[in-house]
A and B are shown apart, each in its own frame.
Chain A
Amino acid sequence: MNAADNQWQFSKIPNIEESNFNKILERFYSLGVAGLTRENIQNSLDGRLTELDEPVVVKIQLGKVNRQAIPGMGSIVQRINSLEGRNGYTKETISHMKASMMSEEVRYISFEDSNTRGLTGAKYGQSNSKEHTWGIYAYNKGVHFEEKDESFEASRGGSHGVGKIASNAASDVHMMFFANCDAEGEQHLGGTIQLIEHKLGDHYYRSTGYFAKLEGSKFMPFENQYDKIFEKTTRGLKIVIPFLRDSFYREDEVIRSVCDSFFVSIMEKKLVVHVNDLVIDADSIDAIVTDSQYYVQEIEAMKKVFTPLYVKTYKNQQPRLIEIPHANTVFQFNLYFNYDERIPKGRVGIIRTIGMKIEDFTVKNNATKPFNAVLIGGIDEDSYLKSLENESHTKISSDDLKDPALTKLAKKFISNLNKEIVKVIDEEMRSHNPVDGKINTSDLLYTMELDFKENLSQSFGTVKIKNGKNIVTSDEDNKAETTPAKVKRKKRENDGAGKPKESGIRRKGKARDKGEDESAAEDQKDEYKINPYRVERLLLHDQEFIQLNLTGSPEVAKAKKCNLKFNIIDGMGKEYIGEFNMKENYSDIIDKNTSNPCVIESDVIKNVSIKNGIVHLQLALKPKYNRSLKFIYYVEV
């Protein structure tokens, strides 16, 4: 390696212990460009100049730049080529890096803030002093510099100290730069890259690389004399992410993300954001959230994104105070509440005092109530909410707390929060839907009765269908005992029917006039399932007697002759068609009504007489007959 190209510093380590990429990369990658935008703007808000009464301005640029403009690419290419993947995911990521790093035209995004402090002490490099924020920001992971002013610290957005890496995650090669200009006008450029622990030459190196020069054992930043995209000439910080992922290169998504998360800051004139040529400020935000290019405008369709509603609620509603007891104190929040019948999903946007939305909070059991609300607390409330946020600042929950006592308190807090908001919802619902003391419940009762009938019909064995009317038959005394099963033998999912009508009997004549000559008539027969209550069965040593009582269904009982079919029912009540072979199980069948023998075919007994609605058979069993079988009986007439 020649010294001139050696602009990226990796610390030497004795050996490789960790073969994976930093896990936080994946997490932020999954949050997309929206998460990236949110993190960076939040950092800018945290760095606001308190003594100045001007809004923080963040300029976001999306564009393309020639590869030559990115400093230190030579040594990075060499590093990436030396990486060795040890599992599927790592291999895939490395090959993606290799494929991306050589392209001539490079996508980038930059976030430049002003009216912010920027970092201090850059010229001291890695100084390990708490005062020199450059050293902390540039060369340290997982810490953020704490404010000396406690109330300011409480209102800051970040708390997990991992946000910096969000920018690395957005780059195909996990690379990001930050250009700083401090109060004295000194301009420096730093950067980081997240690789994996690797071996280059004879040495092993740590995964994180720093864009810096090494002076003794200290990292020192370069003075900023690089391409225009890195230029930062006013006080503040500029984050530049080259090799921006293709899926992140979405201007409209950036705009949406700004509005979604920071509409309160923007409306309160604490923040102005430029996205390329578009300026989002207190005056323009209305036009943006009501533009169908960015947001769905039909209130009825707002089921996932609620920003247009929040903006309206926050602008038009008067806040009401809600109080939530917590340990020894009482938290006070302002709730902006809007009731609108068209809103399909009721959500409460929970906002931190810096104006950043944490969550579209769903009130327990009230997720589909027609309202929209915005909830903002003060400094005390803020610092508590901060402790409940997850790492990506998109949800409050008790999960991130380790201390069981605190977890319990947090659960209680969330449940109290739910309760208080429910009170407001109920109150609003009542005032918009006055109760006049009388409610017409006939429709309700009708529905209940219908449901009941339906459930009942499903739980009983025999149901009759005709004309689409339902009649449920529950016991042996009931008249509808058979089910026409012609319709593909749908078992009993059918609905019952009232009185059997003529149509069911019509074809009987043909079937009856000549029993033997079934060729023409057979497919016209109606098939009825017989209620088990109506079957009596007696098994003797080598004989079986079966008696079917068909008097319950007149159209069947009227017939003189019929065919019988048996289907096996297994141990779980499932019916099998064609599983039972009559010929193999019965040697002779005598019709006891007439003392004549019946015709046995493999799946049907033919020419059985019906006398006074009764079928009576004596069946001689073959030796292999399985006496344990159970059947459901069908009559064809």
Chain B
Amino acid sequence: MIKQTWITIRTPLFSYKLDKRAPWIALLLLLFMGIVLVASISYGEYHITPTEVLQTMLGTLPQDHPQYRQFHLVVFSFRLPRIWVAFWVGMALATSGAIMQGITRNPLADPFLLGVSGGAGLVAVALIVWIKDVSTTVLPIATFIGALLTAFMIYIFAWKNGGSAPLRLILIGVAIESVVGAFTHIMLVFGNINQVQQAYVWLTGSVYGRTWAHVHTLVGWLMVLLPMAFLCANWLNMLNLGDDTAKGLGMRVERQRVILLVISVALAAVAVAVSGTIGFVGLIAPHIARRVVGASHQALLPISALFGGALLVLADLIGRWVISPSELPIGIVTAMIGAPYFLYLLYRGRNG
């Protein structure tokens, strides 16, 4: 038997218990993140060496360096914002996916199960196709609202006799998503081709041209949502025992499930609003995390988040590198990484 050791934190408000390995893994991930971050900033058409990147970021680059101003511009205005966006979006999607998988007890559930991507997509495509130059501040807000409204609608339609059975939720989710998808597609078929192409890029998920304003919005929301998710992690552990056992342990199952759903949907909606629908992260990151730290959600959620963040930062670098000077949207890269990973799982046969 492997002797499992735990770290336990107890306060009057909450208690927290996680695998002893979790902090070390988190540290390792952050280290990896740091390396990829520096590599990613240094890579590009305007090349900057890693040491110069570090110097610029730490502010130790001498003022009289011949390229001082260019370095500052490239690092802080062009490259760093998009990388941060990728990182935070990855965190949000991975956490959201881990919660969704916990609620539905289905390892294949992803953050977009409740129509978040469909609703956001409809609003985004409508704005991009109808209003020619939609401002970058309006788009995230509108898509965020679209995502939440769709999720809410699915939940309302699935509500019956004081409950929302997971199967009914999924079936109605599929139906509503297909209606929303049909409207989106109609606009894609009849819209002006230039705008349609732009809309396609958005639908695939991209962090191209994202600015500090996006980063601030993301961080603002996630500073509230992520801690909430981590604090509710124990509910997921209990839900995984089955509704009856969870009730026996004193959970108000339906109510706490709704709270978890809201957190998960909000996380996904924030991410989608800023970067479009990036697939696979919400599916893969929790999978990898589960293999490393086990199924207890208190360690699983934060570690998934870090895996998701690191994964997207890496995917962003790959997307800029693989067909340079042109670039591949980050959502395509995640699918190209994600599919082989799942095939490997399939081959190992641990999922059957």
Question: Is the pairing of A and B real?
Answer: no
Interface residues of A (CB under 8 A from B): none
